[in-house]
Amino acid sequence: MNPAFNLMAAGGYVLAAEDSAVQAKQLQHLLEQYNIRNIICRNGQEALDQARAEMPLLIISDIVMPVMDGYTFCKSVKTDPELRNIPFILLTSLSDPLDIIKGLQAGADNFITKPYEEKYLISRINYLLTNRIIREQGAGDMSMEIVFQSQRFQINSDKKQILDLLLSVYEAAMARNSQLIEAQRQLQILNEDLKSANAELEAFAHTVSHDLRAPLNGIQGFIELLKTDYGKQLDEQAHEYINWISTSADDMANLINDLLEFSRSTRAEIKPEQVDISALAVEIVDDLRRSVYKHPCQVYVQPGISVTADKRMMRVVLNNLLNNALKYSQKSDSPKVTLGMTELSGRQIMYVKDNGVGFDMEKASHLFKPFIRLHSSTQFQGTGVGLSTVKRILDRHQGEIWYESAPGKGTVFYFTVGGKN
């Protein structure tokens, strides 16, 4: 049997002060695994009373505790003529260099950092108990003054005590350093994996943009040939089937385009420049009116709106927001869409407002997640990817986006670029 644990067999015990019930139970279980008799107290004062009632072989103490903290408990033990030679271990996070000075002032023998390895704590107990006789033979008052961070501190500990404590701090620092080196190695591996994943994503995007579009273009092309060459020979039911095929093919094409845009919104490099938001919005609205929304709609774009951002990405943001505004307002009696800018708490906030169908905000908590739609495809066409792309782009620009809406009363999307609070 190890000499340290011979002391235990002779009737000694380890005293511990730990206010956390969970950590106290874990410590008790660990000590009992090694047949170490132990008594666990809830704070420093309770543990000090226990030590005076029955002298322990070694003390372990947390630092932050009610009634009496670990430093005060340690100092009380080390200034008591009957208890002063009991080895004292402080459990700490060592988050502040002054922790070491406080430990030296209190007279602690060892620091053990939380969370500790069980085998390491047992080895420290073994070391301190094995060297107890050596410590007692060399014990003697020693007083020194040190200056740390422009403050003077008086240290009253013997040389062996100071050396033990500083070595335990060094050991803990080396362990942390090893952990940091390993974490850095793991980070490098993850970075390589991320590069590989990005390369695979690029390959997938290429497949989507070319290999999937090619057969889709073939479907759409043959639909047109079928209508042109055989349209007169087909009955009304056949024409209805052809229209459904054509609509589904268009929906698939839109979904492919939206997914590609969603993918690019995360990977593409941001190239900031001064972007004339007003001019860009007018251009987008003109394109949408020519190609999709030919119904009468009053559109107002506030002039002079300008931001520093990636122009191509801001085109995607505006295209999605204006497209939604035009789409969801087309069934209104007098559809109206506005792009403007306002100021709130010193921030410039852009907005796109419509007087369309609106939605219930209580049901829109996941609105910016992909494929979330608040209206069925039979009411309004869409893929549910556009707003997710918008949010990703604005996040990358350190911006924000939020909304206000009510059923039948339209919707306002507010958004910022830069200066995220």
Question: Which pLDDT value is given to residue 1?
Answer: 46
Q: Sheet of 411-415: strands edge to edge?
A: 298-301, 336-344, 347-354, 411-415, 401-405
Percentage of residues in the chain having pLDDT higher than 70 = 70
Q: Which of 11-20, 70-79, 256-265, 367-376 has the lowest mean pLDDT?
A: 367-376
CA-nearest of 60, 82, 12, 18 to 168 is 60
Whether the model clears a pTM of 0.75, i.e. scores above it, the answer is no
Q: What is the dihedral of CA 24, 25, 28, 33, to 10 degrees?
A: -150
DSSP-assigned beta bridge partners for residue 38:
14
- Domain spans in the chain, listed from the N-terminal domain onward: 3-157, 270-421
Amino acid present at 209: S
Higher-confidence residue of 371 and 247: namely 247
3-state SS, 38-99, equals: EEEECCHHHHHHHHHHCCCCEEEEECCCCCCCHHHHHHHHHCCCCCCCCCEEEEECCCCCHH
Question: Which pLDDT value is given to residue 52?
Answer: 93
Calculate the CA 108 to chain-centre distance. 37
Question: Which pLDDT value is given to residue 201?
Answer: 63
Residue 36, pLDDT > 90, answer no
DSSP annotation string for 322-367: HHHHHHHHTTSSS-EEEEEEEEETTEEEEEEEE-S----GGG-TTT
Question: Which pLDDT value is given to residue 139?
Answer: 47
DSSP-assigned beta bridge partners for residue 334:
none
Alpha helices in 131-235 (DSSP H): 132-138, 159-206, 213-230
CA-nearest of 157, 121, 130, 134 to 30 is 121
CA-nearest of 130, 146, 122, 140 to 60 is 122
Higher-confidence residue of 94 and 20: namely 20
Higher-confidence residue of 307 and 188: namely 307
Question: Which pLDDT value is given to residue 242?
Answer: 84
Rounded Cα gap, residues 142 and 104, in angstroms: 12
Question: Which pLDDT value is given to residue 132?
Answer: 64
Token pair recorded at residue 318: 């505006």
Q: Which of 66-75, 130-139, 290-299 has the lowest mean pLDDT?
A: 130-139
Rounded Cα gap, residues 81 and 116, in angstroms: 31
Mean pLDDT of 52-81: 90
**Is it true that 3-157 and 270-421 share their CATH fold?**
no
Residue 138, pLDDT > 50, answer no
Residue 269 is given by DSSP the state P
DSSP-assigned beta bridge partners for residue 62:
91
Contact call for residues 275 and 314 (beta carbons, < 8 A): yes
Q: Which of 54-63, 65-74, 215-224 has the lowest mean pLDDT?
A: 215-224
Rounded Cα gap, residues 142 and 157, in angstroms: 6
Cis check: omega of the bond before 115, within 30 degrees of 0: yes
Question: Which pLDDT value is given to residue 258?
Answer: 63
Contact call for residues 173 and 92 (beta carbons, < 8 A): no
Rounded Cα gap, residues 320 and 12, in angstroms: 75
DSSP-assigned beta bridge partners for residue 113:
92
Question: Which pLDDT value is given to residue 169?
Answer: 57
- Please provide the CATH number assigned to the domain covering 3-157: 3.40.50.2300
Task: Determine the topology of domain 270-421 in CATH.
Answer: Heat Shock Protein 90 (3.30.565)
- 14-17 and 58-62: which strand pairing? parallel
CA-nearest of 349, 331, 333 to 341 is 349
